Structure 1
Amino acid sequence: MFELIASGGWLMIPIIGCSVLALAICMERLWELRANKIAPPDLMKDVWGWLKSGAMTAERMKEVKRGSPLGRIIVAGLNNARHGREIMKESIQEAATQVIHELERFLTALGTIAAIAPLLGLLGTVIGMIKVFTEIMIQGTGNASVLAGGISEALITTASGLAIAIPTLIFHRHFQRKIDSLVVEMEQQAVKLVEAVHGERDVDHDK
């Protein structure tokens, strides 16, 4: 394996670096973007129960806020509920914007890796072919081993770049879709909160 990497030339160093970084980002996002962690399914029902029973203390509000991104959005709305429906909705939207920004953390880097990995492989191909033609100019076509080395370098870097870019792109699209789904879920929960607080809906009877 090491010999295969070494035969790819110095461009294998940034290509391998991209693979390590992409793997780290994917593992971190898989852990952080769990649905139960972002939007606990029973949180809204619990919050509404505490509100109706008068058990929503300042300490409990802090716990809800610290517990999940959805909790932060809920608390932002509750803190401004007394100012009316529109102000409550605006505060929820502001908190949601911050939450979405955090959910999208590292996705730009992941997308960049998916874009540059095949370009690094292509650069390796070009460098390898330059070496081949340079050797042809110097030695002619008689030295097959030298020509094979340049062609091998070109193919290895190209294959490595594509091998990294393809799964990275798949995960990038997967995370984007998952964030969109989570945002829709949190928006629905936030709408329920606004309507419940202003007497238009009872959360306990919602599915």
Structure 2
Amino acid sequence: MKRLFSILAIAGTMAFGTVNATTSASLSTTTTVTTVTQDSSVDEENLSFHQELKKRFIEGGAGFMGIVLLCLILGLAIAIERIIFLNLSTTNSKKLTSNVEDALSSGGVEAAKEVCRNTKGPVASIFYQGLDRADEDIDAAEKAVVAYGGVQMGQLEKNVSWISLFIALAPMLGFMGTVIGMIQAFDKIEAAGDMQPSLVAGGIKVALLTTVFGLIVAIILQIFYNYIIAKIDSIVNDMEDASINLMDLLVRYKK
């Protein structure tokens, strides 16, 4: 529940900032159209990348562009929450293994469990589950480590599938906006009974803008998604190596 609230808080903050930026951009655009008509060509040449992006977004219309923007906001909110969670889940497994080994040698299993309780991260949790079965045979401890490792892996991968959904959904929405815009353009041609480029050029441009922004959203989220997947793989590999080291420690402790 706390993670859900954090995702919603991040999404709300990003949405609020985006709405303010879009609103201010719309107001400034309306004022500029009424006051600076003669210098429009000069202004277009001097627009920065950020200003050009806002201008194109407004030109694309609030329909599909708003949905594509929502995909970006939700995808980034989940990605940021996952990145924070994964960074907090990263543990120095070598140091933890050394501390557990020293605790086993000096104070036994309870001292080693206390070390794990005072250490954050999935590796420490897996160590604790294995040490909790240390009084039983090695097979029981190994089964506990494997089972709890699967639980921890599920926690690491939580909500990641939503990012992949938004990666696929954003360009599809952009393509849908393009197709609908092309249909509307041909409707205008049919109603006019004449093929004039000026009649449909604006509509086609707006339709293509939805595809461009859909692809931009997908590219941004794909970068975050690949980073998160790489981070998860690194933590999982660390968990597996640490689990093997724990089994070796328990075997030596039993002897």
Question: Over residues 44-73 of structure 1, what are the superposed CA-to-partner deviations in whole Å (9 max), with x where a residue is unaligned?
Answer: 211221121107176555333xx1111111
The residue number in structure 1 matching 2:233 is: 180
Residue 20 (str. 1) matches residue 77 (str. 2)? no
Q: Which has the higher helix share?
A: 2
Judging changes above 3 Å, is the alpha-carbon distance between structure 1 residues 57 and 181 closer, same or farther for their aligned structure 2 residues?
A: closer
C-alpha RMSD of the superposition: 2.2
- Once the two structures are TM-superposed, the CA of residue 197 in structure 1 deviates from its matched residue by 1.1
In 1, Cα distance between equivalents of 2:225 and 2:237: 19
- Once the two structures are TM-superposed, the CA of residue 166 in structure 1 deviates from its matched residue by 1.8
The residue number in structure 2 matching 1:92 is: 145
SS at match of 2:252: coil
The residue number in structure 2 matching 1:125 is: 178
Identity %: 31
1:120, 1:161 within 8 Å by CA — same for their partners in 2? yes
Alignment length (residue pairs): 198
Matches within 5 A, 1:1-207: 1-9=53-61, 10-34=63-87, 37-41=89-93, 42-54=95-107, 56=111, 60-64=115-119, 67-141=120-194, 144-199=197-252
1:80, 1:87 within 8 Å by CA — same for their partners in 2? yes
In 2, Cα distance between equivalents of 1:105 and 1:120: 25
In 2, Cα distance between equivalents of 1:59 and 1:187: 21
Find runs of 4+ consecutive structure 1 residues off by over 6 angstroms. none
2:130, 2:141 within 8 Å by CA — same for their partners in 1? yes
- Unaligned stretches of 5+ residues in structure 1: 201-207
